[in-house]
A = this chain, B = another copy of it.
Amino acid sequence: MTTRVPTMRVGLLGAGRIGRIHGLNVAARADAELVAVTDAVPAAAAALAAETGAKATSTEAILSDAGIDAILICTPTDTHADLIEAAVSAGKAVFCEKPVDLDAARIRRCLATVEASGRPLMIGFNRRFDPSFAALERRLRAGEAGAVEIVSVISRDPSPPPVEYVKRSGGLFRDMMIHDFDMARFLLAEEPVEVFALGSALVDPAIGKAGDVDTAAVLMKTASGRIAQISNSRRATYGYDQRIEVHGSQGMLRAGNIHETTVESATGNGFRADPVQNFFLERYASAYRAELDAFFTACRGGVAPTPSGLDGLKAQILADAATESARTGKPVMVDLEAAR
């Protein structure tokens, strides 16, 4: 028999694709209750409310409901900073999907408000909670590969987003690679001081015409000389490709993709295995559950959740630096230690 923990009463802002995931995950937990949900599309909130027993209501009602302990922010990016500020000011614990904002200065102001409130803020860099990536990081920290020397992160989406999405996205480095900047920081265990980026529009010319890239690579270096490599593509025919590899003084640790099944066929054409899981909601299903675990555990324990708002700011600074580097063709120096 485990000790009964107090139920977290949760309000959800945004019932779109990722909001639904979090809402259903809250509803399925024994230690939390999805009390209320809202969305700019009322039918989306109503549907999720019907599935979970929550009530569909308004942002204002959720923020002012004294019976709600924690707010999950899954709304469009340009609303994140305002909602975080409003929620911590209302005394709520806050979990917010990445990014806090596309503008680092705005993030800084928001984090100052959070700090003043004393309320916990966690940013949804879900990949840290992927069971394989999390296990790799734990084993790395335990010294299994020795001192970190080279971190490699590969992310390839199955297919590019619509160009209309791209136009509002802040660009590949801020929209897609930001996850990899966070992962690189997570694995390097030392802040990058230099960022060099290359990008091309090879997948969809319309993305290039919109001023963005769909194929990109970054090199980063830390003060002690550790190196991180990141590469991104908006297209992968064989599934959603998400791999990390860390080379250290004592060995290598790597983690990767999950095939759709374990079936292997062998014929005169060779041995064939399935494509890898194709969709981020499937690939990271357990990561989404685990990050809520971490959020609720931190809130209950009175400890600051990780990844923090500052982690969100630092990833944004790296994404900004990469964007600038790709534009200017020059490496960009950053000082994340002084990020705040």
Contact = CB atoms under 8 A, between A and B. Distances in A.
Contact of A202 (B131, B156, B249, B259): B249
| Copies of this protein, total | 4
Contact of A198 (B219, B270, B275): B219
Given A150-B217, A229-B217, A272-B270, A254 B247 contact: no
A265 B252 contact: yes
A18 interface: no
Interface residues of A, number: 73
Contacts of A3: none
Given A136-B263, A237-B267, A149 B202 contact: yes
A40 interface: no
Contacts of A30: 51
A132 interface: yes
Interface of A: 28, 30, 51, 131-132, 135-136, 139, 144-145, 147, 149-150, 152, 156, 194, 196, 198, 200-203, 215-219, 221, 224-227, 229, 231, 233, 235-239, 241, 247, 249-276, 329-331
7 contacts: A132-B261, A150-B231, A152-B231, A196-B196, A237-B268, A255-B262, A257-B262
